[in-house]
Amino acid sequence: MPHVMISACLAGENVRYNGIPVEDVDKRLKKWLAEGTAVLFCPEVEGGLVTPRDPAEIIGEGGGKAVLDGTARVATEKGEDVTEAFVDGARKALAFCLEKGIRYALLQERSPSCGSHLIYDGRFQGTRVPGRGVTAALLEQHGIRVFSEAEIDALESAFTGSL
């Protein structure tokens, strides 16, 4: 039974916005996937976005929670509103976790979907600000603990301690 949902990009799946897969996959992720402790999920792809795709950022204050509340939106650098895809992907990620009994998520930092501590400021200039992406915010609202790739040690301690 899986305990952790992992952003598919962190395991080297070709789902990143720029179409360049991560090459340096943490060996613990590989182990957890092989033993069935973890499963992969990409909320952006599940929300209907293609790979590669234009970069997107949250426009407005309040991060992913504000997007879920309808007071902010997600748009591409070209101005295309992709809010619906991000919200749909977040809802599918939540449904997936609830269906599988998953209590932990390891998500890609800085992503407008998955950022757990940092996201970009919506001006497409590379400026990072404190905040959560849409999926991270929704999962946390429903009691699923979210970790970034910089927190794999803490995630490992959390879920192995609960087995």
Condensed to tens digits (0 to 9), the pLDDT of residues 16-46 reads 999 999 999 999 999 999 999 999 999 999 9
For residue 11, pLDDT beyond 90: yes
Give the residue from 6, 35, 8 showing the smallest Cα distance to 152. Answer: 6
Decide the pairing of beta strands 128-130 and 118-120: antiparallel
Q: In what order do the strands lie in the sheet with 104-107?
A: 38-41, 4-7, 104-107, 145-148
Q: Is the pLDDT confidence value at 161 over 90? A: no
Cα 159 to Cα 12: distance, rounded to the nearest angstrom: 22
Residue 146 sits in which domain range? 4-161
Does residue 127 register a pLDDT over 90?
yes
Q: State the pLDDT at residue 162.
A: 65
Q: Total domain count for the chain?
A: 1
Q: Residue 58: enclosing H or E segment and its boundaries? A: strand 56-59
For the chain, the residue count is 163
